[in-house]
Amino acid sequence: MFGRIGRFAVNRPWLTIIAWILATVAVVALAPQLKSTNDQADFLPSHYESVRVTELQQRAFPMAEQPSAIAVFQRDDGDKLSPADLTEVTRIAGALQAEGYDKVKSVLASPEAVSPNGKVALASVFATTKNHYDQALFESVKQLRADAKPLLAKTGLSMGVTGPTASGLDNLESSGDTDAMIMLATLVLIVVLLLLIFRSPLIALLPVLLILLVFVVATGLIATAAELGGLQADNSVSAILIVVLFGVGTDYILFLLFRYREQLREGQEPKKAMIDAVARVGETIASAAGAVIVAFFALVLSTMGMLRAMGPSLAIAVAVTLLASLTLVPAVFSLLGAKAFWPSKAWKKQPRSVVAGLGTLVSQRPRLLAGLSGGLLAVMSVAAFGFNAEFDSESSLPQNLESVQASKDLQRGFSAGQTDPSLVLVASKDGSRLDPAALETFREKLSGVEGVGDVSPAMLGTAGDAAQFSVVLDFRPAEEAAINLVAGDLRDTAHQVAPEGTEALVGGTSAVLADIRAAVDHDYSLVFPIAGIAIMVILGLLLRSAIAPWYLIVAVGLGFGATLGSAVLVFQQIKGENGLMFALPVFVYLFVVAIGTDYNILMVARLREEIARGRTQQEAVRLAVTHSAPTIGAAAVILAGTFGVLMLAANSMLQQLGFAVAFGILIAAFVMALVLVPAVTSLLGERAWWPSRDRQGPTEGDDAVPALAPEPATT
């Protein structure tokens, strides 16, 4: 089948290229914009308590609102605020409200918003939208900060803005243009490495241009699927999509080009060489892409809408990349022929290899290398049991940001949760009006929960059958102590002491994060095993073996554990951070497990090919490692380098993501694919391919082909 695909693309190159250009134009012209959201509550299923609170609040309290941002005032000298100071606070708040910012309803300072110690005063910024992360609201808060500076001049007061919108704005700005940074770093790495490997500007630039075209098509198809299917994509999808497309795209193009060069060195005519290259590695590329697509699609089983949206989006991107790798890339390079390697002539001969000894060593000492590599991964995996999920995005931000500093200033006079109180709603089960006395008793019991700073009086809904309490915690809403309190004592108490005939529900940011934590824990126990089984099935079909998939999936599991363990050691043990970003295992799964499996597939597919040619097991291992090492090494360095750029970011969560995925990709390539997997295969011998008995003699032309010398990763 893949030979037929290769022949069609190579023999009809212009038809293939024009079809891709027309598809790109159509997608650009017709595809809608990809929608996104920052509100994690949007991604939780409706049965979670925090989501039910939001639904009840919208029904019973349509006019109720929480401030999107809070302006924190204090004296420059740290003393108590005088009556004149409070007058200035009111004046400044009034002047800011008069500016009429987009999406800002009011800026209010009230006498009640002064701390008990008299050192801090607050002004609440209320928005016309309930989406605290609205882009227009971001711009308004940014302008409000700038406008406040001249108003504060000569008052002896300082002001900082914190709260959900201000923190979201600072998070966005501190991260910088991450998409652009990733794109630029990826382009530079691909161009430089391909130039070093092939010494050809055409081969260095063409893959980039081809992948950019694929990026446009894939993005349009994802947006169309989202529009038709009602899918909602998280803001992180765009950055991840860049890495996925350029990562797997470069992998598949390298798989093809290295084999194309190998066929040319055998003396084949360029068109025939490309057709044979597609025929020989097409199944490998398709299997690798199939494993990644299945792994991504497994995310639709997640209870988190964010992951359910991300999975199909990335699967579509990989499917488009697969199609381009088997059609567009062969068509373009068939037009260029051997001129694609211009001006270099090194492709014509077998150079001395820097990996010549590796293939020999693995084939001759498989037991030693399997023990060393497997033992290393196992030891590193032990540290993964110390993984502590961190949901506090504020703690990952640079401490000099205004929202972070203003939050600390607020705590000089108020409870840390003042910026974003939790919500407790009480609703009558039969629709009857609530008893005010019972509600006051309920409020007193909530106030007695350890860690609760203040509970507001009950606010009755429009129908009188529901009441809302604003609960200020002693902890910042996103920190672990607040999440544990809401998920534990606060919810337990609210449920137990709810007035007779009513139901009590706890919501707010801390509750949303508590529910996300529960959802993620559920997903880890469901999605990962199912994806692992699906990948094993694909490996079994590719290799016609019931044995090889088992040790391959064990190797992948060891790589996953070693990656998480290394991140725990570096960030929790050495740097002393409280924990790692809660979604880190998901990203390790997406890139280290799913994409990293490509390298294992390439290795075992080449092993099986050499066995089918009649090689001995030892010789097959030597040749497979020798020929696969340059491809795997180059592809892994490009993908790892792309993520490694994130370690330059000021945001510690981006640093964690960059380190973990870059390190994991390198482990998957240089430890698993090039050492552990071929070593174990060598130890198992014929048993690795059971029940397949497919040992062909040399294929046509093989007799004239000497045992190829290794190809270098760089020359």
The three-state DSSP-derived secondary structure of 492-553 is HHHHHCCCCCEEEEEECHHHHHHHHHHHHHHHHHHHHHHHHHHHHHHHHHHHCECCHHHHHH
Closest CA to 587 of 647, 669, 632, 528: 528
72 phi and psi, to 5 degrees?
Answer: -105, 120
- Angle of the 597-612 helix axis to the 548-567 helix axis, nearest 10: 150
Residue 496: what pLDDT? 94
- What whole-number distance in Å separates Cα of residue 342 and Cα of residue 340? 6
Burial class (CB in 10 A: 0-12, 13-18, 19+), 696: exposed
- What whole-number distance in Å separates Cα of residue 187 and Cα of residue 246? 8
- What whole-number distance in Å separates Cα of residue 558 and Cα of residue 673? 12
In tens, the pLDDT along 192-243 reads: 887 887 788 888 888 888 888 888 888 888 878 777 766 655 545 666 777 7
Are 290 and 538 in contact by the 8 Å Cβ rule? The answer is yes
Are 183 and 90 in contact by the 8 Å Cβ rule? The answer is no
pTM of the predicted structure, to 2 decimals: 0.76
Query: Amino acid identity of 228?
Result: L
* Structure-token match 């991107």, residue found: 317
Please list the rounded mean pLDDT of every run of 10 residues in the chain (715 residues). 86 91 87 57 73 85 78 92 92 92 89 85 89 86 93 92 86 66 74 82 85 86 75 59 79 86 84 89 86 83 75 87 92 86 69 68 90 93 90 67 86 80 91 91 93 89 88 87 92 93 91 87 81 82 82 89 94 87 83 80 84 84 86 84 76 83 92 92 84 50 38 38
- What whole-number distance in Å separates Cα of residue 469 and Cα of residue 613? 74
Residue 84: what pLDDT? 93
- What whole-number distance in Å separates Cα of residue 14 and Cα of residue 275? 16
- What whole-number distance in Å separates Cα of residue 309 and Cα of residue 312? 6
117 phi and psi, to 5 degrees?
Answer: -85, 0
- What whole-number distance in Å separates Cα of residue 534 and Cα of residue 105? 52
Closest CA to 359 of 693, 540, 606: 606
Residue 703: what pLDDT? 35
Residue 382: what pLDDT? 94
**Token reading at 459:** 């606010």
Report the mean per-residue pLDDT for the chain.
Answer: 83
- What whole-number distance in Å separates Cα of residue 76 and Cα of residue 211? 55
Contacts of 394 (CB under 8 A, 6+ apart): 167, 403, 404, 407, 476, 478
Contacts of 667 (CB under 8 A, 6+ apart): 377, 559, 562, 563, 592, 596
- What whole-number distance in Å separates Cα of residue 215 and Cα of residue 675? 33
Strand partners, 271: none
Are 607 and 218 in contact by the 8 Å Cβ rule? The answer is no
Question: Which contiguous run of DSSP H or E holds residue 70?
Answer: strand 69-75
Residue 63: what pLDDT? 66
- What whole-number distance in Å separates Cα of residue 578 and Cα of residue 600? 34
- Residue 346 per-residue DSSP state: G
Buried residues in 559-593 as b, exposed as e (16+ CB within 10 A): bbbbbbbbbbebbbeeeebebbbbbbbbbbbbbbb
CA-atom Rg of the chain in angstroms: 30
Strand partners, 70: 124, 162
- What whole-number distance in Å separates Cα of residue 390 and Cα of residue 482? 12
- What whole-number distance in Å separates Cα of residue 236 and Cα of residue 178? 10
Closest CA to 225 of 210, 239, 237: 237
Burial class (CB in 10 A: 0-12, 13-18, 19+), 653: buried
Closest CA to 124 of 193, 50, 67, 62: 67
Are 136 and 168 in contact by the 8 Å Cβ rule? The answer is no
**Token reading at 105:** 């309803």
- What whole-number distance in Å separates Cα of residue 337 and Cα of residue 395? 54
Residue 218: what pLDDT? 86
Question: Which contiguous run of DSSP H or E holds residue 127?
Answer: strand 121-127
Question: What is the pairing mode between strands 389-390 and 580-581?
Answer: parallel
